Structure 1
Amino acid sequence: MATIDALKLEKWEDAFQQPVVSVRVMEKQLRVALQEKKEGLRGLVGESYRDLLKTAERIIEMNDSIQQVESHLSQASKQCNYGSLQKKAANAVSMKEKEDNRDRRNRVIAAELAVLSNCPVAISRTLSGDKSPLLAAKLYILARLLRRSVSEKIKSPFLTSLERQLSNLRVSLLRDIEHELCLLNTETGAILQCLGAYSLITSSSASETFLHFQTLRLNAVTSLVHQDTISADTILEAIRYVNENLRLSTQLFPRRLSDTLTSIKIRPLFQEPALNEMMELNMAVHAHWISESIRKYTPWLKADDLSSESCKAEIANKLGTALRVIFEGLERAVKAVSKVETLVRIRHNILIASRGVMGKTSELDSADLNQSLNKIREIVNTRIREVLSGDIIAIGGLGEELSKVAVEYPANRSKEPVTWSNMLSSFENAKGGRNLKAMVRAVSYSDKSGLRAIRLKHSRWIGNTTKNYAHIKKMSEEKDWDPENDDDDDGIDAPETLKEMNDADTQALLSTYVEGLLAGYRSLEVNLSTLVDSIGKSEDGAESAQPIESACVILRFISIIRNSSPQHQATDVINLSWFGNDARGQLYNLLSKSVSKKALRVFSKDLSRRKWSSNVSFASLWDGSPRLPIQPSPLVFKFLRNLTQSMNEIGVDVWTRDATDTLKIGVAKLIWEELDASVTLAEKQANGGLETKAEEGADGQEDAEGENPDTEQPNPEAEIAPDIFSREQVLQTYFDTTYLDNALRTLASRSIGEAEKGKDGSLAITLSWGFIERTHEKVKLETDERERISRSAEDYWRRTCLLFGVLDI
């Protein structure tokens, strides 16, 4: 039988499952083991008395604890019956329900108040961070809902402060939205968000939102144009506003605005992801406690009350008002511009900017829109005409200044060098010969005659006129609409291209300008004629030098006008060959009479001393075979010298070809009168009727002054003594008259043949021909003699013409 180890048994019942013998064996084993344990314990305890006492105290404490545990377990067993536990569970559930109902209201108020107090901060940060205005509007709506909910539950000054903040934020939010809507470069998406935010804040329908947008844009244009100081750049910006408004109105209304408002009301406001993600609101904590009515709130916006027809009608109405405001502003802007170049540039820029007004808007029923380009052209062109008229009127001031100079300068005139003198050779060439150039300019342009200021003013006026003409002409050279933008403006249906409008305006403006210039020059010519008439009247009744000086001033002024007409690309804008012709003819006659008066007086006096029957004292100087005169008599030379000196005294620049020809014609007639009178006097003396016939001849000459003396033909039947004229006197006089013919030959008479001289009363009198006709019955001259004398006189004039250079023009 196997032996069983009693110490290895787990239960005491297992020991009694064995036979009795085995049980007794196990008893012995246990007793032995117990004895060994006792001996070991006794050995351990018995080592220290103190340890033994401590062990005893611990055993006592353990005994007390065991008793307390048994007492508690006894009481617990009594109280943990089913009925007690059921009663306690029911009481606990009731207490929890009462506690939850009492705290939830406070927690809802706390959560809503926490979110509400953070809404102003969230709205402000949204606005300052350039985020979506629609998000700020949703925050404002949420704050408004929370304020209403909290105010129904509690009353507090803090709520009044929050309400004031929200009111201020509403004003700021609407102001920012309106500012964004009025910006010129706002994107389409931002415009839609602003419109949605405005509709959400103000609970406006689609039609009300559309009207608000159109009103804002119109007010932006009006406020821009109604500034105190307005310029063309302002008008351009206003036109860009109108163009952008038309573009946005076409793209956004009514469909895209309706879609935007519809998207706002398709889900509750509380489900907006951007709201739940805002750190300031802390929705992760407070969202559960906010009232269910707020969490389920969905905005209701009327998005289907806007039609395409009403949109077009309102756009056309606002567009017409805006364009009328722009037209008024454009008139004010161009009124402040006085330069044609600037006006032409303004016109071009505004027409280019206005191109968008005509683009893709043909369906709008607006008379202002259809006539916008023509109205702009009319306004700017009218101002250009006003500026050009002002320039044209300025030429009248030259006539007024000339009147003052013509009256004042001759009275205060000091002797100034009017032709080349020896003093010109003494100028130093330092500083580019400034003094020499000034003197040359003074001589060439008669600046010493008081016309310097007028000439400079006229030069500036001519420069300005030429520039204005060039600027207007340049309008027709401008290109058509910018081809780079054609892809963006495929819908343009303008009746005229920019090139056609420029050509039409250029032609109209240039025609008006040229007609105005001609009218201005004609008016100036009338004033000159009046001034010349007054000078002519004063010259008839006075012997002073003032009229002649005034006439010179006017002639120089006429030369300035005729020689400096407005030009464009080396071509005269207007032909001024007619200017001052009548006045010049009168002035030339006045100069001719005044300048030749002194020389003719001396000539007449010397001629009256001539004795026609005596020989020439200087006949020894004659040459050839037979001997013939080869130089003029001192009488003729002295006369020409006195005449050229008188011409030089009033200024070489006055003596143009026409002036010199007028002088030559007049002098030739007067010389012939003197010569014919001298011959007649000699004939009368020879016939014995000197006194009576001399008085009659003097009276007849006085009455017939100014008439053509060629009409007086000598009486061939009169009886003349054969020795009235000596042959030498006739030969010398024929040489003198031929020499004078060369000296007084006009441009018209240079092409007349010898056989036709003196036969046309409109040409200068040919003295030599007339003298031969007058004396051929007294002294016969052979043809070869006449030809030799004519050749000698012409040759001598060619050799001496530089002495009288002012006559040889």
Structure 2
Amino acid sequence: MATDAWDSRNMKSWKEAFQYPIPTVRKVEQELRCDIASNREKLRSLVGTRYRELLGTAETIVEMNAESSEVETKLASIGIRCNTSLIGKKSVNLTDIKRESTGKSENDRALAGQLVLLHRCTTVTGRLLRKHDSPLLASKLMVISRLLYKTLSQTPNAPPFLETLRSQLSSVQRLIRRRILRILGSANSSIEDIIDSMAAFCLSDNASSLDAITHFHAIRFSCIEKPSENAGEYIPKALGLYVQTLQTTKAIFSRRLSDALGKLQAQPLLNDSNIRNLDDLDLDILGRWVTTDVKNFTPWIKSDDLSRQSAEHILKTWSNKAFHRFLECGAVSLRNATDFAQVLSLRKRAIDIWLSAVAVTPTHSAVSILEGLRDVFNTQLKLVLLNQAQRLLSVGDGVKSHIEQWTQTDGGTSQSLWDANVTSLEVSDGATVFKRVLTQTLLGQDSRIANILETYDSWLVAIENSRRSVDEMRHTKWEDTFDDDDDDEEFPTSSVELLNQDDPRQLREAQKDAVGQAFLDLQRCFSGVIDAFGDSENSLKAAFVLRLIRDLRRGSPSEILQDDGLDFAQDIVPGLQQTLAEEVLTSVPASKILPSPKRSTLSRVPGRTLWEKNPELPIQPLPSTFKYFRRLVEAMESLGPDLWNSSAVIVLKKTAHKNAVDSFSAKFEELKMSAKQTENAKEQIEKDNSTTEGDDLTTPDLVRDWKIQLLLDAFYVRDVLSVPPDETEPMNKFIETLQGEVEEQDGAVGALQEAAHEFWKRTEMLFGLLAT
């Protein structure tokens, strides 16, 4: 077939494909599409390969650049370290030593060799100290240097350069001492480092092992007695250093220091492997010029073999002295700690440090240490609580400032609950603003009282937070690590019970006493403020102070004061209430209770026509009496209805009761005088044969009417101004006197008393404040 001979790769034009049947053309199309896809994959693979080769080339360039930079850095470092001047000097010196033609004697070569070795020892020692290497190795080199210097200084022809080396040797010795001091005083030093440094101290200062221990204790003591203003930094650090010192001392007394010193005395210093491994010394070359005394020098250090009792005595003596010093410095650093919660947290950290270490730490008395820690923190916590409580006096300062700056415009009439400014407030979103303004209006709180109460509330929050912190102390978790079988110390209670029960109890009592004393001091401050009221606006000032006292009592810290309660300003309040009562009664004098006569003779009793029963008796008091009590209540409300609690109303009633008795007595005397004048006038008229109307002159019946009305009013006033029985005696005597003047017919007195009482029951709601 024609399709068998067809090959798409031999096509020259697309037109040739259409010379074949349709199936063939479709086959041609499929072959062409397969070729295109195959060529696309080959092209993609080729591009990817070339791209990866390009990335590899780039990475190679980057690596070559880094390696080139590293090589340049190393070459630069080598160049820096290649001190041509120093190399030249060494070359010249070596040449001079080896030069056979110098003609020097054996002694001169020995002198030069020792001088070079001395110089190298001081140089290497300084380098070791700068690298914070072992101070013991530095001390060994320093001892060798001292021996070399001693030998060279005894030669007759010592070069001047020897004095320079002596200065370097002194400087190196000071550096070694500072290095030893730093290691022995650091809390981060391991026991191995400390023993190594103590051995270095013995070697460099010709000290005994006991001297080294004493030196170690002195360094640690000096570190502990450096208080810091930051108690949170000093106390944990100093206490940790104290504990570590005791533990290290225990290890030192277990022959670890003696073993280290014995190893140091086992061989000559120049034979020490650590010395011979220092290539910079060139001991193989320069060692042969060293004298025999230097070569064979073996340190001897006095080893004080202490008995167990002596070791314990040394440890306990230092422990007692250091801990008491720690307590003194800790108390000083705690003076700046005024935050109660922070001091409590620091107390927890410090006691945790001790309790976690007490089982493995020898000391003069584990119980004394715990007691000391408790005392120093409890003392500061009590001081913080006292200072917190004394901040209550800022309330007194605020009151004093307001009273001293009082002006005529301060105080004023209290705002009504039905004032438009109150009733027009928004009541949406829970009516928060409306309720707050309503409460302030009801309680008479203005901006001055609000400012003082804000100070008081912030004080309450502070002492309440401290109280909660004290209560939380009872639930603190501690590790009770004291050995119950310890026969040396008897401890009545466990450490956990002391920390969780006794300490909170002490702090609660301290806070209770401090808060109670603060309120007493504030009460004395209020007394001083009241004494300085002056002569003007006393009632408004008294109202201001009374409202403050009431609000302070309402917000008293009852949970802190516990069962004692708070009788704050109990002696001050009656005097302030008396001031208010006198102000009210001055504006509404008791002389207004009964009508004043307009002429010398008596007129008819007001409301006489309303008398009822037979004989006729009044059923209500005089209008002037009723009006008097209405004006009295209005005067009370003008100062503020919130001021008139039961005690204040009783004070007002007592004073008003006394004034009312005086007013009734005066009216009774006036009645007698008017009756006498009327009788005289009647006699004069009869004498002159004058004729008048009988109603214009007072008759015995009119006098009796007035007495009956006065008796009813007296009963009514006694009901309105109800006071304790011992205070009603003057009114009762007046009523008895008046009863004797009134002819009692058919139970008239009893009817008058009942009528007065019934009228009071009907009208008492009109006198709400007086009915309290």
TM-score, normalised by the number of residues in structure 2: 0.66
Residue aligning to 2:565: 575
Residue aligning to 2:550: 559
Aligned-residue CA RMSD (Å): 5.4
Change (3 A) 1:529 1:188: closer
Counterpart of 1:299 in 2: which secondary structure? Answer: coil
Aligned equivalents of 1:139, 1:567: Cα separation in 2: 74
- The partner residue of 1:217 within 217, 220, 225 is 220
- The amino acid across from 2:239 in the alignment is I
Q: Does 1:651 align with 2:640?
A: yes
Change (3 A) 1:516 1:776: farther
Q: Does 1:119 align with 2:121?
A: yes
Alignment of 1:65-76 (within 5 A): none
Change (3 A) 1:247 1:591: same
Structure 1: unaligned runs, 5 residues or longer: 1-97, 539-543, 693-719, 749-757
Change (3 A) 1:774 1:514: farther
Q: Does 1:275 align with 2:275?
A: yes
- The amino acid across from 1:179 in the alignment is R
Alignment of 1:217-616 (within 5 A): 217-222=220-225, 224-225=226-227, 229=229, 231=231, 233-253=233-253, 255-281=255-281, 296-347=296-347, 349-353=349-353, 364=364, 374=371, 377-378=374-375, 381-382=378-379, 402=399, 405-406=402-403, 409=406, 413=410, 415=412, 417-420=414-417, 421-426=419-424, 443=441, 446-448=444-446, 451=449, 454-467=452-465, 473-474=470-471, 477=474, 479=476, 481-482=478-479, 495=491, 497=495, 499-500=497-498, 503-508=501-506, 510-511=508-509, 513-515=511-513, 517-519=515-517, 521-522=519-520, 525=523, 546-568=537-559, 572=562, 574-577=564-567, 579-601=568-590, 603-604=592-593, 606=595, 616=607
Residue aligning to 2:64: none
Aligned equivalents of 2:671, 2:439: Cα separation in 1: 52
Aligned equivalents of 1:553, 1:391: Cα separation in 2: 26
Q: Aligned-pair distance for 1:183?
A: 0.6
Residue aligning to 1:140: 142
Comparing 461-470 and 560-569, the one that deviates more: 461-470
Q: Aligned-pair distance for 1:573?
A: 7.0
How many residue pairs match? The answer is: 648
Counterpart of 2:142 in 1: which secondary structure? Answer: helix
Do 1:410 and 1:549's aligned partners in 2 also have CA atoms closer than 8 Å? no
Q: Aligned-pair distance for 1:259?
A: 1.2
Counterpart of 2:566 in 1: which secondary structure? Answer: coil
Q: Aligned-pair distance for 1:396?
A: 6.1
Q: Aligned-pair distance for 1:188?
A: 0.7
Aligned equivalents of 2:757, 2:290: Cα separation in 1: 134
Do 2:358 and 2:482's aligned partners in 1 also have CA atoms closer than 8 Å? no
Counterpart of 2:298 in 1: which secondary structure? Answer: coil
Change (3 A) 1:395 1:775: farther
> CA offsets, 1:85-112, max 9 Å, x none?
xxxxxxxxxxxxx99x999989877876
Structure 2: unaligned runs, 5 residues or longer: 1-99, 682-698
Q: Aligned-pair distance for 1:180?
A: 0.7
> CA offsets, 1:476-499, max 9 Å, x none?
52636435x779x99995846264
Counterpart of 1:213 in 2: which secondary structure? Answer: helix
Do 1:665 and 1:763's aligned partners in 2 also have CA atoms closer than 8 Å? no
Q: Aligned-pair distance for 1:460?
A: 4.4
Do 2:319 and 2:363's aligned partners in 1 also have CA atoms closer than 8 Å? no
Counterpart of 2:595 in 1: which secondary structure? Answer: helix
Counterpart of 2:553 in 1: which secondary structure? Answer: helix
Aligned equivalents of 1:132, 1:563: Cα separation in 2: 71
Do 2:355 and 2:479's aligned partners in 1 also have CA atoms closer than 8 Å? no
Q: Aligned-pair distance for 1:262?
A: 0.5
Counterpart of 2:593 in 1: which secondary structure? Answer: helix
> CA offsets, 1:340-372, max 9 Å, x none?
5555555555555555897667774x9xx9755
Residue aligning to 1:702: none
- The amino acid across from 1:647 in the alignment is M
Change (3 A) 1:372 1:464: same
Counterpart of 2:188 in 1: which secondary structure? Answer: coil
Do 1:518 and 1:574's aligned partners in 2 also have CA atoms closer than 8 Å? no
Aligned equivalents of 1:580, 1:220: Cα separation in 2: 53
Q: Does 1:794 align with 2:756?
A: no
Alignment of 1:76-115 (within 5 A): none
Do 1:566 and 1:573's aligned partners in 2 also have CA atoms closer than 8 Å? no
Counterpart of 1:581 in 2: which secondary structure? Answer: coil
Do 1:120 and 1:165's aligned partners in 2 also have CA atoms closer than 8 Å? yes
Q: Aligned-pair distance for 1:665?
A: 4.3
Q: Does 1:777 align with 2:744?
A: yes
Residue aligning to 1:639: 628
Identity %: 20
Aligned equivalents of 1:149, 1:534: Cα separation in 2: 92
In our comparison, the structure showing a higher alpha carbon Rg is: 1
Q: Aligned-pair distance for 1:190?
A: 1.1
Change (3 A) 1:248 1:346: same
Aligned equivalents of 1:372, 1:683: Cα separation in 2: 91
Change (3 A) 1:383 1:767: farther
Change (3 A) 1:401 1:789: closer
> CA offsets, 1:452-507, max 9 Å, x none?
55544444444445455555x44852636435x779x9999584626426644554
Do 2:184 and 2:197's aligned partners in 1 also have CA atoms closer than 8 Å? yes
Do 2:378 and 2:503's aligned partners in 1 also have CA atoms closer than 8 Å? yes
- The amino acid across from 2:638 in the alignment is E
- The amino acid across from 1:139 in the alignment is L
Alignment of 1:644-683 (within 5 A): 644-668=633-657, 670-671=659-660, 674=663, 678=667
Counterpart of 1:606 in 2: which secondary structure? Answer: coil
Do 2:584 and 2:635's aligned partners in 1 also have CA atoms closer than 8 Å? yes
Counterpart of 1:300 in 2: which secondary structure? Answer: coil
Q: Aligned-pair distance for 1:209?
A: 2.0
TM-score, normalised by the number of residues in structure 1: 0.64
Change (3 A) 1:642 1:476: same
Q: Aligned-pair distance for 1:419?
A: 4.1
